[in-house]
Amino acid sequence: METDNTTQLQNEQAFTSASISAEQMAIFLQKNPYFFEQHASLLANIHIPSPHGSGTISLTERQQLAQRDKIRVLEVRLAELIEYAEENDATSTKVHVLSLNLLKSHGLSALQNDILTSMQKYFDVSQTVIRVWQKPIDAAIADQAIFTVVDNALSDWVLTLSKPYCGAKPGVVVSLLDNDIQSCCVIPLKAQSATAIPFGVLILGANSAQRFKTGMGTHYLNRIGELVSAALLPQI
């Protein structure tokens, strides 16, 4: 302990014997963590400019202000996380309701209607388009709208999608959407298999350009695509 005190004294003498730079001062305080504990009065007597206006404050007050600023940042971040969690919880509930609606559907026509209604009612979708290029087993349903032939450009593009597309209307879907649609989501429909290729597409359009933004999360959109695909496959 005596050796430590001697070293401490030598450091302080060297520290005060000549002009020092801010960097040297910082190094000194780092090497002497008990400096302010041994000179506690300095915390109250040394004053520095206030970061929130004119005048000066003590080192203790400055530290308190710094801690308050950090707490405010953490509070804002926590509020954002709570908001995201509430949004995710609400979306999860809507996807669950969609699942129940699809399970209750009987027949291809009813299924299509339930999909369109659910998208509009729960997911702020202005227009929903479903297209299936896989030929139906039952010829009696081949004349339904979902089997309307699409351009090869659309089916080829959907084949390249590894996740739902979100953003402005791409050229390959413009003819399928109303003129007032400002943003859209294009979701490949396929069987739940690692090697499955899309048998169709679900297109969701919105009048708001902010509804489906480029770069938005697609976790729940993937889930919707899986649910719609699983509901449609037994019907076609």
Residue pLDDT, tens place only, 149-184? 999 999 999 999 999 999 999 999 999 999 999 999
Q: Of 71, 94, 123, at which residue does a domain stop? A: 71
Q: Tell me the whole-structure pTM to 2 decimals.
A: 0.69
Q: Are residues 29 and 134 in the same domain?
A: no
Q: Are residues 206 and 150 in the same domain?
A: yes
Dihedral-angle region of residue 161 (phi above 0 means left; psi in -120 to 50 means alpha; beta otherwise): beta
Q: Identify the band that residue 13 occupies on the pLDDT scale cut at 50, 70 and 90.
A: low
pLDDT, position 18? 54
Average pLDDT over residues 215-224: 94
Q: Of 71, 89, 115, at which residue does a domain stop? A: 71
Average pLDDT over residues 68-97: 90
In a domain, 94, yes or no: no
Q: Is the dihedral of CA 28, 34, 38, 41 positive or negative?
A: positive
Average pLDDT over residues 181-207: 93
pLDDT value at 4 more than 70: no
For residue 75 the two structure tokens come to: 């509070």
Domain that holds residue 193: 105-235
pLDDT digits (tens, 9 = 90+) for 110-163: 999 999 999 999 999 999 999 999 888 788 888 898 999 999 999 999 999 999
SS3 188: strand
User: CA distances (Å), 170 to each of 119, 175, 186, 225, in order?
Assistant: 20, 10, 9, 19
pLDDT, position 3? 53
Q: Count structural domains, the chain.
A: 2
pLDDT, position 34? 81
Average pLDDT over residues 66-84: 88
pLDDT, position 179? 95
Q: Are residues 132 and 36 in the same domain?
A: no
Check residues 201 and 41 and name the one with the higher pLDDT. 201
For the ranges 11-25, 56-70, 80-94, 152-166, the lowest mean pLDDT is seen at: 11-25
Q: Are residues 110 and 184 in the same domain?
A: yes
Q: Identify the band that residue 36 occupies on the pLDDT scale cut at 50, 70 and 90.
A: confident
pLDDT value at 230 more than 80: yes
pLDDT value at 209 more than 60: yes
In a domain, 99, yes or no: no
